[in-house]
């Protein structure tokens, strides 16, 4: 009986500690709630609303009806019309669209004679999910009105798979994995940096030195920049060696994108370290940030297929912008100058997070 009383006493003590630790108590509710909302609302394997563009060299009643019918499927959202197939390919290279539709000048004759496929789908096949959606789109039975005198159902589309003709998952996963690993390690490492100094008593020594707050922050960041670059080289190198993942773009551009992304994550980690009181709390906060970064950044599921609200939240996450850059440079050979908006978003995130971290940090013991 006395043993049971002691057990209940310890249980009461633990519950009291949890009730006083607001961050941990919030995580108990926040983590399952966040996952429920993301998996139930934001993540949708039935991909729709993929960004698309088209070129219509025929520009006839049948071709316009064809564009209207394929848009009505809601699988794609037509963003714009361009003048040539070359412009479609440029949009694919820049990552502005996922699917391009090329309608040739003799589209009507091809539809009426059914001697060959009448149009082409140009697909960013780096993501096998999008490539699979394009195949389903090509198989849709398209109907024309009676004036066209074409079969009631016709499979008209030929799919051209760009960047990943073999539809290998590793080609899409490995570049994205760079961002996931850097997010996990950079935020986690730096989030415990200042907290560890407090817990070990080293902060007392730093207080008595003439070092300034920005200098301390930068001194904490620079070693992890080197660690991040080592991880970048390791993942891309092993991905190329074991999985034959091509690196079509400039390595200098890969390095530039990685440096900006690493800076964003390190700044966030420092901000977390100024909020958390213990290393355990710092790890909890890092994990809470890590989950949405994986699930709604476009790493696992196509970004265009998510609801608008989830997309707006994802635009805040550094991994969303880095995924677009690293996949664009590595898989499509894109120039980093064509993705300046992604660089700007990361730079703004870094500036805001680092400024808040410096303002919150004080060279004194609480």
Whether 264 is in a domain gets the answer yes
User: What's the pLDDT at 365?
Assistant: 46
CA 200 to chain centre: 36
Alpha helix (H) residue ranges in 201-278:
202-207, 213-243, 251-275
CATH number of the domain encompassing residue 65: 3.40.1710
User: What's the pLDDT at 142?
Assistant: 66
Please count the structural domains in the chain.
2
Whether 21 is in a domain gets the answer no
Backbone angles phi, psi at 90, to 5 degrees: -65, -40
Q: What is the CA radius of gyration of the chain?
A: 26
Whether 24 is in a domain gets the answer no
Task: Please check whether residues 121 and 153 belong to one and the same domain.
Answer: yes
Task: Please check whether residues 229 and 121 belong to one and the same domain.
Answer: no
Q: What is the pLDDT along the chain (366 residues), one digit of tens a residue?
A: 767 776 667 677 666 666 666 656 565 666 666 666 665 666 666 677 889 999 999 988 888 888 988 888 888 899 999 999 999 998 998 888 999 999 998 888 888 777 678 889 999 888 888 888 888 888 777 666 544 555 544 567 889 999 988 888 889 899 999 999 999 889 988 888 777 777 776 666 666 667 776 777 777 778 888 899 999 999 999 999 999 999 999 999 999 999 999 999 999 998 888 888 788 788 888 888 888 888 889 888 888 878 888 889 899 999 999 999 999 999 999 889 888 999 999 999 999 998 888 888 765 444
Domain boundary among 124, 141, 162: 162
Whether 197 is in a domain gets the answer yes
Task: Please check whether residues 179 and 154 belong to one and the same domain.
Answer: no
pTM beyond 0.75 = yes
Task: Please check whether residues 344 and 259 belong to one and the same domain.
Answer: yes
Whether 8 is in a domain gets the answer no
> What's the domain range around 110?
50-162
User: What's the pLDDT at 220?
Assistant: 73
Domain boundary among 129, 162, 195: 162
Whether 45 is in a domain gets the answer no
Task: Please check whether residues 140 and 190 belong to one and the same domain.
Answer: no
Domain boundary among 114, 137, 162: 162
Give 154's strand partners.
142
Task: Please check whether residues 117 and 133 belong to one and the same domain.
Answer: yes
Contacts of 7 (CB under 8 A, 6+ apart): none
Query: What's the CA gap between 266 and 259, in Å, rounded?
Result: 10
Q: Going by DSSP bridges, is the β-strand pair 50-56/99-103 parallel, antiparallel, or unpaired?
A: parallel
Task: Please check whether residues 220 and 346 belong to one and the same domain.
Answer: yes
User: What's the pLDDT at 364?
Assistant: 47
| Residue pointed to by tokens 């074409």 | 150
């Amino acid at each position: 009986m006395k043993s049971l009383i002691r057990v209940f006493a310890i249980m009461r003590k633990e519950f009291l500690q949890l009730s006083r630790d607001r961050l941990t108590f919030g995580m108990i509710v926040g983590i399952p709630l966040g996952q429920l909302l993301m998996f139930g609302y934001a993540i949708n394997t039935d991909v729709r609303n993929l960004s698309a563009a088209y070129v219509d060299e025929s520009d006839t009643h049948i071709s316009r009806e064809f564009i209207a019918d394929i848009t009505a499927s809601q699988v794609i959202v037509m963003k714009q019309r361009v003048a040539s197939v070359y412009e479609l390919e440029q949009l694919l290279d820049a990552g502005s669209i996922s699917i391009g539709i090329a309608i040739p000048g003799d589209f009507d004759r091809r539809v009426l004679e059914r001697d060959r496929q009448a149009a082409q789908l140009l697909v960013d096949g780096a993501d096998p999910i999008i490539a699979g959606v394009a195949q389903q789109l090509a198989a849709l039975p398209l109907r024309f009105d009676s004036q066209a005198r074409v079969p009631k159902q016709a499979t008209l589309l030929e799919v051209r798979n760009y960047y990943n003709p073999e539809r290998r998952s590793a080609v899409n996963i490995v570049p994205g994995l760079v961002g996931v690993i850097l997010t996990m390690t950079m935020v986690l490492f730096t989030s415990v940096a200042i907290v560890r100094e407090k817990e070990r008593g080293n902060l007392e020594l730093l207080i008595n030195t003439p070092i300034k707050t920005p200098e301390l922050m930068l001194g904490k960041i620079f070693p992890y920049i080197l660690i991040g670059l080592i991880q970048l080289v390791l993942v891309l190198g092993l991905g190329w060696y074991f999985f034959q993942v091509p690196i079509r773009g400039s390595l200098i551009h890969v390095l530039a994108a990685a440096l900006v992304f690493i800076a964003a994550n390190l700044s966030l980690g420092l901000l977390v370290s100024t909020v958390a009181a213990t290393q355990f709390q710092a790890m909890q906060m890092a994990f809470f940030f890590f989950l949405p970064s994986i699930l709604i950044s476009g790493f696992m599921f196509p970004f265009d297929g998510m609801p608008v609200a989830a997309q707006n939240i994802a635009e805040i996450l550094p991994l969303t912008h880095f995924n677009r850059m690293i996949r664009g440079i590595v898989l499509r050979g894109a120039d980093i100058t064509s993705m300046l908006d992604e660089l700007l978003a990361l730079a703004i995130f870094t500036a805001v997070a680092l400024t808040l971290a410096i303002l919150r940090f004080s060279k004194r013991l609480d």
